[in-house]
Amino acid sequence: MRSTNEFKERPDPGRGSRRSLDFDRSDGSEPMALWKVNQRCNFRCEYCFSAGVNPYREHPACGRHAPGDIARAFDRTDRSWWISMTGGEPFLYPDFVELCRELTRNHVLTIYTNLSTTNALRFAEVIDPSRVRAVNASLHILERERRRRVDRFIADVLHFQEKGFEVRVDYVALPELFDRLDRDLEMLAAAGIARVRLQALQGGYRSRLYPSGYGRREREAFRSRSIDDKELDLVEHTHRFFGRLCRAGQRFFYMDIQGTMRRCPIGARSYGNFFEGRYALDDRPRPCPYPVCLCSWYGTELAGGPRQGLVRVFNEMVREGISLALDRGRLGRLARTLSRRFRVGPR
Protein backbone atom coordinates (compact mmCIF):
# COMPACT_ATOMS: atom_id res chain seq x y z
CA MET A 1 0.00 0.00 0.00
CA ARG A 2 1.75 3.12 -1.22
CA SER A 3 1.31 6.54 0.30
CA THR A 4 2.11 8.91 -2.56
CA ASN A 5 0.81 12.40 -1.84
CA GLU A 6 0.00 14.80 -4.66
CA PHE A 7 -1.02 17.62 -2.42
CA LYS A 8 -0.61 19.04 1.02
CA GLU A 9 -3.49 19.21 3.45
CA ARG A 10 -5.79 22.07 2.53
CA PRO A 11 -5.48 24.81 5.12
CA ASP A 12 -8.69 25.67 6.88
CA PRO A 13 -8.97 29.43 7.22
CA GLY A 14 -9.69 30.25 10.80
CA ARG A 15 -9.27 26.65 11.89
CA GLY A 16 -7.86 27.88 15.17
CA SER A 17 -11.24 29.39 16.00
CA ARG A 18 -13.33 26.53 14.63
CA ARG A 19 -14.99 24.13 17.01
CA SER A 20 -13.75 20.60 16.58
CA LEU A 21 -13.25 17.42 18.57
CA ASP A 22 -9.58 16.49 18.94
CA PHE A 23 -10.36 12.79 19.25
CA ASP A 24 -12.31 12.96 16.00
CA ARG A 25 -9.38 14.17 13.89
CA SER A 26 -6.96 12.10 11.85
CA ASP A 27 -3.22 12.63 12.11
CA GLY A 28 -3.03 12.73 8.31
CA SER A 29 -1.07 9.52 7.85
CA GLU A 30 -3.01 6.58 9.29
CA PRO A 31 -5.09 4.50 6.89
CA MET A 32 -8.82 4.68 7.58
CA ALA A 33 -11.72 2.35 6.89
CA LEU A 34 -15.43 2.95 7.29
CA TRP A 35 -16.97 -0.49 7.67
CA LYS A 36 -20.70 -1.09 7.53
CA VAL A 37 -20.70 -4.23 9.67
CA ASN A 38 -24.42 -5.09 9.44
CA GLN A 39 -27.81 -3.87 8.24
CA ARG A 40 -30.17 -4.81 11.10
CA CYS A 41 -31.28 -2.12 13.53
CA ASN A 42 -33.50 -2.31 16.60
CA PHE A 43 -34.85 1.24 16.14
CA ARG A 44 -37.57 2.23 13.67
CA CYS A 45 -36.93 5.91 13.05
CA GLU A 46 -39.18 7.62 10.54
CA TYR A 47 -36.30 9.64 9.11
CA CYS A 48 -33.89 6.72 8.51
CA PHE A 49 -32.74 6.76 4.88
CA SER A 50 -31.60 3.13 4.61
CA ALA A 51 -34.44 2.13 2.32
CA GLY A 52 -32.25 -0.06 0.14
CA VAL A 53 -32.17 -2.73 2.85
CA ASN A 54 -34.58 -4.40 5.24
CA PRO A 55 -33.56 -3.27 8.75
CA TYR A 56 -35.71 -6.00 10.30
CA ARG A 57 -33.59 -8.74 8.74
CA GLU A 58 -29.85 -9.26 8.96
CA HIS A 59 -27.73 -9.56 5.82
CA PRO A 60 -26.75 -13.21 5.19
CA ALA A 61 -23.05 -12.26 4.99
CA CYS A 62 -23.06 -10.68 8.44
CA GLY A 63 -20.84 -12.70 10.79
CA ARG A 64 -19.59 -14.97 8.01
CA HIS A 65 -15.94 -14.34 8.94
CA ALA A 66 -14.55 -15.13 12.38
CA PRO A 67 -13.34 -12.16 14.47
CA GLY A 68 -9.75 -13.41 14.35
CA ASP A 69 -9.84 -13.74 10.56
CA ILE A 70 -11.12 -10.18 10.19
CA ALA A 71 -8.40 -8.83 12.49
CA ARG A 72 -5.74 -10.72 10.54
CA ALA A 73 -7.00 -9.18 7.29
CA PHE A 74 -6.13 -5.77 8.71
CA ASP A 75 -2.91 -7.03 10.32
CA ARG A 76 -1.62 -8.36 6.97
CA THR A 77 -1.30 -4.78 5.70
CA ASP A 78 1.43 -4.08 8.31
CA ARG A 79 -0.33 -0.83 9.14
CA SER A 80 -2.28 0.30 12.17
CA TRP A 81 -5.77 1.24 10.97
CA TRP A 82 -8.43 3.60 12.22
CA ILE A 83 -11.58 1.52 11.71
CA SER A 84 -14.96 3.22 12.02
CA MET A 85 -17.77 0.71 12.50
CA THR A 86 -21.35 1.52 11.57
CA GLY A 87 -24.54 -0.31 10.59
CA GLY A 88 -27.46 -0.95 11.08
CA GLU A 89 -26.70 -1.09 14.75
CA PRO A 90 -23.15 -2.47 15.11
CA PHE A 91 -23.75 -3.99 18.54
CA LEU A 92 -26.22 -6.40 16.90
CA TYR A 93 -23.34 -7.94 14.94
CA PRO A 94 -22.70 -11.54 16.10
CA ASP A 95 -19.99 -11.66 18.77
CA PHE A 96 -19.37 -7.94 18.33
CA VAL A 97 -17.41 -7.46 21.55
CA GLU A 98 -15.03 -10.29 20.65
CA LEU A 99 -14.58 -8.78 17.19
CA CYS A 100 -13.63 -5.45 18.77
CA ARG A 101 -11.28 -7.17 21.20
CA GLU A 102 -9.43 -8.78 18.28
CA LEU A 103 -9.29 -5.58 16.25
CA THR A 104 -8.04 -3.39 19.10
CA ARG A 105 -4.90 -5.49 19.55
CA ASN A 106 -3.30 -3.60 16.67
CA HIS A 107 -5.85 -1.02 15.50
CA VAL A 108 -8.08 1.73 16.87
CA LEU A 109 -11.85 1.98 16.52
CA THR A 110 -14.68 4.45 16.34
CA ILE A 111 -18.17 3.06 16.96
CA TYR A 112 -21.39 4.62 15.65
CA THR A 113 -24.23 3.28 17.78
CA ASN A 114 -27.60 4.05 19.33
CA LEU A 115 -26.17 2.55 22.55
CA SER A 116 -29.28 0.52 23.29
CA THR A 117 -28.08 -3.08 23.57
CA THR A 118 -26.98 -4.96 26.67
CA ASN A 119 -23.67 -6.06 25.16
CA ALA A 120 -22.65 -2.39 24.93
CA LEU A 121 -22.05 -2.48 28.68
CA ARG A 122 -19.86 -5.55 28.29
CA PHE A 123 -17.90 -3.67 25.63
CA ALA A 124 -17.23 -0.92 28.17
CA GLU A 125 -15.96 -3.50 30.65
CA VAL A 126 -13.59 -5.50 28.46
CA ILE A 127 -12.32 -3.16 25.70
CA ASP A 128 -9.34 -0.89 26.40
CA PRO A 129 -10.62 2.70 26.03
CA SER A 130 -7.21 3.84 24.77
CA ARG A 131 -7.85 1.71 21.65
CA VAL A 132 -11.21 3.36 20.93
CA ARG A 133 -10.96 6.77 19.32
CA ALA A 134 -14.59 7.59 20.00
CA VAL A 135 -18.01 6.17 20.76
CA ASN A 136 -20.52 8.25 18.81
CA ALA A 137 -23.86 7.61 20.50
CA SER A 138 -26.88 8.80 18.51
CA LEU A 139 -29.71 10.13 20.63
CA HIS A 140 -33.00 9.53 18.82
CA ILE A 141 -34.88 11.19 21.62
CA LEU A 142 -38.43 10.65 20.35
CA GLU A 143 -37.73 6.94 19.87
CA ARG A 144 -36.18 6.82 23.35
CA GLU A 145 -39.18 8.57 24.89
CA ARG A 146 -41.55 6.21 23.10
CA ARG A 147 -39.70 3.33 24.75
CA ARG A 148 -39.29 5.22 28.05
CA ARG A 149 -35.55 4.72 27.84
CA VAL A 150 -34.05 8.23 27.97
CA ASP A 151 -32.74 7.65 31.50
CA ARG A 152 -31.19 4.38 30.38
CA PHE A 153 -29.37 6.15 27.54
CA ILE A 154 -27.98 8.77 29.92
CA ALA A 155 -26.84 6.10 32.38
CA ASP A 156 -25.07 4.15 29.64
CA VAL A 157 -23.28 7.23 28.32
CA LEU A 158 -22.12 8.10 31.84
CA HIS A 159 -20.91 4.53 32.30
CA PHE A 160 -18.78 4.77 29.18
CA GLN A 161 -17.41 8.14 30.31
CA GLU A 162 -16.52 6.73 33.73
CA LYS A 163 -14.67 3.87 32.05
CA GLY A 164 -12.50 6.38 30.20
CA PHE A 165 -14.09 6.33 26.74
CA GLU A 166 -14.39 9.45 24.63
CA VAL A 167 -18.14 9.65 24.06
CA ARG A 168 -19.95 12.08 21.78
CA VAL A 169 -23.72 12.18 21.92
CA ASP A 170 -25.20 13.01 18.51
CA TYR A 171 -28.56 14.69 19.15
CA VAL A 172 -30.51 14.00 15.96
CA ALA A 173 -31.88 17.45 15.16
CA LEU A 174 -35.42 16.88 13.91
CA PRO A 175 -37.11 20.17 13.01
CA GLU A 176 -39.88 19.66 15.58
CA LEU A 177 -37.30 19.38 18.37
CA PHE A 178 -35.92 22.91 18.19
CA ASP A 179 -38.65 24.28 20.48
CA ARG A 180 -37.35 21.98 23.21
CA LEU A 181 -33.68 21.97 22.21
CA ASP A 182 -32.41 24.15 25.06
CA ARG A 183 -34.27 22.08 27.61
CA ASP A 184 -32.91 18.82 26.23
CA LEU A 185 -29.33 20.06 26.05
CA GLU A 186 -29.55 21.42 29.59
CA MET A 187 -30.90 18.07 30.78
CA LEU A 188 -27.97 16.21 29.22
CA ALA A 189 -25.42 18.66 30.59
CA ALA A 190 -26.94 18.54 34.07
CA ALA A 191 -26.72 14.75 33.98
CA GLY A 192 -22.98 14.99 33.34
CA ILE A 193 -22.76 14.22 29.63
CA ALA A 194 -19.64 15.94 28.44
CA ARG A 195 -20.15 16.34 24.68
CA VAL A 196 -23.35 16.75 22.67
CA ARG A 197 -23.32 17.52 18.97
CA LEU A 198 -26.33 18.57 16.93
CA GLN A 199 -26.59 16.07 14.10
CA ALA A 200 -28.19 17.38 10.93
CA LEU A 201 -30.80 15.46 8.99
CA GLN A 202 -29.95 14.53 5.41
CA GLY A 203 -32.76 13.72 3.02
CA GLY A 204 -36.51 14.02 2.81
CA TYR A 205 -38.54 14.28 5.99
CA ARG A 206 -42.18 15.34 6.31
CA SER A 207 -42.38 17.07 2.93
CA ARG A 208 -39.10 18.96 3.22
CA LEU A 209 -35.57 18.24 2.03
CA TYR A 210 -32.77 18.51 4.61
CA PRO A 211 -30.41 20.04 5.52
CA SER A 212 -31.61 22.78 3.14
CA GLY A 213 -35.01 22.61 4.87
CA TYR A 214 -33.67 24.05 8.10
CA GLY A 215 -34.85 27.62 8.64
CA ARG A 216 -32.98 30.61 9.98
CA ARG A 217 -33.70 29.74 13.60
CA GLU A 218 -32.48 26.17 13.19
CA ARG A 219 -29.29 27.25 11.42
CA GLU A 220 -28.59 29.73 14.19
CA ALA A 221 -28.97 26.90 16.69
CA PHE A 222 -26.27 24.96 14.86
CA ARG A 223 -24.02 28.03 14.95
CA SER A 224 -24.49 28.72 18.63
CA ARG A 225 -24.87 25.27 20.17
CA SER A 226 -22.88 22.82 18.07
CA ILE A 227 -19.52 21.63 19.38
CA ASP A 228 -18.29 20.62 15.93
CA ASP A 229 -18.43 22.99 12.98
CA LYS A 230 -18.41 20.16 10.45
CA GLU A 231 -22.16 19.81 11.01
CA LEU A 232 -22.51 23.56 10.48
CA ASP A 233 -20.63 23.15 7.20
CA LEU A 234 -23.22 20.56 6.22
CA VAL A 235 -26.17 22.77 7.16
CA GLU A 236 -24.73 25.82 5.38
CA HIS A 237 -23.73 23.85 2.26
CA THR A 238 -20.02 24.72 2.45
CA HIS A 239 -18.79 21.13 2.03
CA ARG A 240 -18.62 20.82 -1.75
CA PHE A 241 -15.65 18.80 -2.95
CA PHE A 242 -16.60 18.02 -6.56
CA GLY A 243 -13.52 18.11 -8.77
CA ARG A 244 -11.02 18.36 -5.92
CA LEU A 245 -8.30 15.80 -5.41
CA CYS A 246 -9.43 13.36 -2.74
CA ARG A 247 -7.57 10.60 -0.91
CA ALA A 248 -10.65 8.38 -0.69
CA GLY A 249 -9.58 5.14 -2.33
CA GLN A 250 -5.97 5.76 -1.40
CA ARG A 251 -5.81 6.47 2.31
CA PHE A 252 -9.41 5.59 3.07
CA PHE A 253 -11.97 3.09 1.87
CA TYR A 254 -15.57 2.20 2.57
CA MET A 255 -16.28 -1.50 3.12
CA ASP A 256 -19.66 -3.19 3.03
CA ILE A 257 -20.86 -6.23 4.99
CA GLN A 258 -19.40 -8.67 2.46
CA GLY A 259 -15.97 -7.03 2.50
CA THR A 260 -16.33 -5.27 -0.87
CA MET A 261 -14.28 -2.07 -0.90
CA ARG A 262 -15.17 1.24 -2.55
CA ARG A 263 -13.55 4.63 -2.35
CA CYS A 264 -16.41 6.10 -0.29
CA PRO A 265 -20.01 5.28 0.70
CA ILE A 266 -21.45 6.64 -2.54
CA GLY A 267 -18.70 5.12 -4.71
CA ALA A 268 -19.56 2.53 -7.35
CA ARG A 269 -16.28 0.97 -8.47
CA SER A 270 -15.14 -2.05 -6.48
CA TYR A 271 -11.54 -2.10 -5.30
CA GLY A 272 -11.80 -5.81 -4.46
CA ASN A 273 -12.62 -7.81 -1.36
CA PHE A 274 -10.72 -7.00 1.80
CA PHE A 275 -11.56 -10.17 3.71
CA GLU A 276 -10.38 -12.34 0.84
CA GLY A 277 -7.16 -10.34 0.44
CA ARG A 278 -7.88 -9.58 -3.22
CA TYR A 279 -7.90 -5.81 -3.66
CA ALA A 280 -5.85 -2.87 -4.88
CA LEU A 281 -6.09 0.67 -3.56
CA ASP A 282 -5.20 3.79 -5.51
CA ASP A 283 -1.57 4.88 -5.40
CA ARG A 284 -2.47 8.56 -5.69
CA PRO A 285 -5.40 10.87 -4.95
CA ARG A 286 -8.14 11.13 -7.55
CA PRO A 287 -10.62 13.94 -8.22
CA CYS A 288 -13.98 13.67 -6.49
CA PRO A 289 -16.60 12.85 -9.15
CA TYR A 290 -19.65 13.43 -6.96
CA PRO A 291 -21.63 16.70 -6.86
CA VAL A 292 -22.80 15.92 -3.31
CA CYS A 293 -20.72 14.55 -0.44
CA LEU A 294 -22.78 12.52 2.01
CA CYS A 295 -20.28 12.99 4.84
CA SER A 296 -18.76 16.37 5.62
CA TRP A 297 -16.28 14.75 8.04
CA TYR A 298 -14.62 12.50 5.46
CA GLY A 299 -14.81 15.17 2.79
CA THR A 300 -13.03 17.66 5.02
CA GLU A 301 -10.38 15.12 6.00
CA LEU A 302 -9.71 13.67 2.56
CA ALA A 303 -10.72 16.10 -0.20
CA GLY A 304 -8.14 18.77 0.52
CA GLY A 305 -6.52 18.94 -2.90
CA PRO A 306 -6.72 21.51 -5.68
CA ARG A 307 -9.61 21.49 -8.09
CA GLN A 308 -8.82 19.45 -11.20
CA GLY A 309 -9.42 20.12 -14.87
CA LEU A 310 -12.64 19.16 -16.61
CA VAL A 311 -11.11 16.28 -18.58
CA ARG A 312 -9.71 14.55 -15.51
CA VAL A 313 -12.93 15.04 -13.55
CA PHE A 314 -15.04 13.80 -16.46
CA ASN A 315 -12.87 10.69 -16.81
CA GLU A 316 -13.40 9.95 -13.13
CA MET A 317 -17.15 10.40 -13.50
CA VAL A 318 -17.17 7.96 -16.43
CA ARG A 319 -15.07 5.50 -14.45
CA GLU A 320 -17.57 5.50 -11.60
CA GLY A 321 -20.61 5.63 -13.87
CA ILE A 322 -19.62 2.54 -15.84
CA SER A 323 -19.05 0.60 -12.63
CA LEU A 324 -22.48 1.58 -11.34
CA ALA A 325 -24.22 0.75 -14.61
CA LEU A 326 -22.68 -2.74 -14.65
CA ASP A 327 -23.79 -3.51 -11.10
CA ARG A 328 -27.56 -3.75 -11.41
CA GLY A 329 -28.07 -4.93 -7.86
CA ARG A 330 -26.16 -2.00 -6.42
CA LEU A 331 -27.85 0.38 -8.84
CA GLY A 332 -31.25 -0.72 -7.58
CA ARG A 333 -30.24 -0.45 -3.93
CA LEU A 334 -28.72 2.98 -4.50
CA ALA A 335 -31.85 4.17 -6.31
CA ARG A 336 -34.06 3.00 -3.44
CA THR A 337 -31.80 4.56 -0.83
CA LEU A 338 -31.52 7.90 -2.63
CA SER A 339 -35.25 7.85 -3.34
CA ARG A 340 -35.95 7.65 0.37
CA ARG A 341 -33.17 10.01 1.38
CA PHE A 342 -34.32 12.76 -0.95
CA ARG A 343 -38.07 12.07 -1.02
CA VAL A 344 -40.07 15.06 0.18
CA GLY A 345 -43.60 13.70 -0.02
CA PRO A 346 -45.45 11.60 2.56
CA ARG A 347 -43.77 8.33 3.54
Q: What is the pLDDT of residues 113-158, one digit of tens each?
A: 999 999 999 999 999 999 999 999 999 999 999 999 999 999 999 9
* pLDDT number for residue 73: 97
Read off the CATH number of the domain in which 316 is found.
Answer: 3.20.20
Tell whether 186 is covered by a domain.
yes
Residue 216 pLDDT > 80 = yes
**Among 113-117, 210-214, 251-255, 338-342, whose mean pLDDT is lowest?**
338-342
Tens of pLDDT, residue by residue over 7-56, are 344 344 333 444 555 455 666 678 999 999 999 999 888 887 665 567 77
Tell whether 10 is covered by a domain.
no
Distance CA 263, CA 47 (A): 26
Mean pLDDT of the chain: 86
Distance CA 288, CA 293 (A): 9
Residue 2 pLDDT > 70 = no
* Residues above pLDDT 90, as percent of the chain: 63
Q: Which residues 6+ apart lie within 8 Å of 319 measured at CB?
A: 269, 289
- Smallest CA-to-CA distance from 254 within 283, 291, 284, 294 is with 294
Tell whether 1 is covered by a domain.
no
* pLDDT number for residue 52: 59
* pLDDT number for residue 326: 65
Mean pLDDT of the 201-206 span = 85
| DSSP per-residue letters across 252-290 | EEEE-TT-EEESSTT--S--EETTTTEE---SS-EE---
Distance CA 341, CA 337 (A): 6
Residue 215 pLDDT > 90 = yes
Residue 227 pLDDT > 60 = yes
**Among 150-164, 184-198, 272-286, 321-335, whose mean pLDDT is lowest?**
321-335
Tell whether 185 is covered by a domain.
yes
Mean pLDDT of the 77-92 span = 96
**Count of structural domains within the chain:** 1
Mean pLDDT of the 335-346 span = 54
- Smallest CA-to-CA distance from 152 within 111, 115, 98, 190 is with 115
Answer whether 0.75 is exceeded by the pTM: yes
Mean pLDDT of the 239-258 span = 93
Residue range(s) defining the domain that contains residue 38:
23-341
Distance CA 250, CA 298 (A): 13
Q: pLDDT grade, residue 239 (50/70/90)?
A: confident
Tell whether 104 is covered by a domain.
yes
Give the HSE-up count for residue 236: Cα atoms under 13 Å, Cβ half-sphere.
Answer: 13
Tell whether 18 is covered by a domain.
no
Residue 342 pLDDT > 60 = no
List Cβ<8 Å contacts ≥24 apart for 102-105. Answer: 102/67, 102/68, 102/70, 102/71, 103/67, 103/70, 103/71, 103/74, 104/128, 104/131, 104/132, 105/71
* pLDDT number for residue 296: 73
- Contact between 194 and 169 under an 8 Å Cβ cutoff? The reply is no
Q: Which residues 6+ apart lie within 8 Å of 102 measured at CB?
A: 67, 68, 70, 71
Q: pLDDT grade, residue 335 (50/70/90)?
A: low
Q: Where are the alpha helices (DSSP H) in 179-327?
A: 181-191, 216-225, 229-235, 296-302, 310-326
Tell whether 6 is covered by a domain.
no
Residue 282 pLDDT > 80 = yes
Tell whether 8 is covered by a domain.
no
* pLDDT number for residue 161: 98
| H or E element in which residue 125 lies | helix 119-126
Handedness of CA 264, 133, 10, 15 (dihedral sign): positive
Residue 264 pLDDT > 80 = yes
